[in-house]
Amino acid sequence: MSNDLKILFIFIDGFGIGSDDPAVNPLRDPRFPNIGKLLDQAHPIDACLGIEGKPQSATGQASLLCGINAPEAMGKHMEGFPLPRLKTLIEKENIFSKLRKMGKDPTFANSYWIDDPFHIPLRRQSVTTVMSLSANGGVRHKDELMAGQAVNHDITRWTMHERGYDGPHISEEEAAEHLLAVAGDHDFTLYEYFMTDRAGHSGNPELVFQCLESLEKFLPKAASFGHQPNQLFLLCSDHGNIEDNTTRTHTQNPVPLLAIGSGAKKFQLLENLADVTPAILRLFD
């Protein structure tokens, strides 16, 4: 594979492959044809990793973004933000640091609404925050967001006014343009969208609809990244949730692994979350 390869990876929290029935699965709502089409192209992979119980965010994300079976290493699925032992594992094994060792230039495209990109309270350090702080030396913050060089976690900035943001909301298409610009400047770009998991836990159909409406507009433009030569678009999740409106907890459903563009075929054979990072690293090798 070419050394000029660029990858854009969108990680969507709590976004599994569920029933085809739109009465149960909001992702199959005919009002979201783009999401439906992307799911049809995706390859299902296992998120349970042979460990009993429902998959959770901390170990699921660590598996996906470090290429390890994290629930096996920890002895169980672990939710929320990583505790010290898992955090140490993430700092050692994450895809950003592995790519840096290969001479590549990875980045995390999410913005943090903070003034100091190096100081994020421990209680707010998710898997991706830990990765970015330890391997990339910081995170994107206010200045980058305002300059269109980062994407907010809610895509359009609609949750940001209560946090002191006084700028405009932007369209999903504009946010996708910002993401494409960041991805065009780096070998590997990760963007995380976790509102889907929150919406699934809320059991609030309006919030579910709002998140999916945003993704419906955002994803096609972001996925167009994979239509350019030497570029690959990837999308995956850590576990199911939003695809089943009969429960407010995570599900044991497989999650979609979508790959479009250069090297996409290599992702058709993968079986579980822990296979994704090694497959990405092989493309760059």
* Footprint of Zn ion (CB under 5 A): 197
For Zn ion, the closer of residues 154 and 197 by Cβ is: 197
Give the residue nearest to Zn ion (CB): 197
For Zn ion, the closer of residues 231 and 253 by Cβ is: 253
Token pair of 124 as six digits:
């707010």
For Zn ion, the closer of residues 187 and 197 by Cβ is: 197
The residues, ordered by sequence, that sit 6+ positions from 159 with a Cβ below 8 Å of its Cβ are 153
Minimum distance of Zn ion from residue 215's CB (angstroms): 17
Minimum distance of Zn ion from residue 79's CB (angstroms): 7
Minimum distance of Zn ion from residue 243's CB (angstroms): 13
First to last CA, the chain: 8
**Cα–Cα distance, 192 to 154 (Å, whole number):** 9
For Zn ion, the closer of residues 172 and 197 by Cβ is: 197
For Zn ion, the closer of residues 197 and 244 by Cβ is: 197
Helices 127-135 and 84-93 cross at an angle (nearest 10°) of: 50
Q: Tokens 């433009």 belong to which residue?
A: 221
Minimum distance of Zn ion from residue 180's CB (angstroms): 28
Dihedral-angle region of residue 282 (phi above 0 means left; psi in -120 to 50 means alpha; beta otherwise)? alpha
**Cα–Cα distance, 14 to 213 (Å, whole number):** 16
Minimum distance of Zn ion from residue 172's CB (angstroms): 23
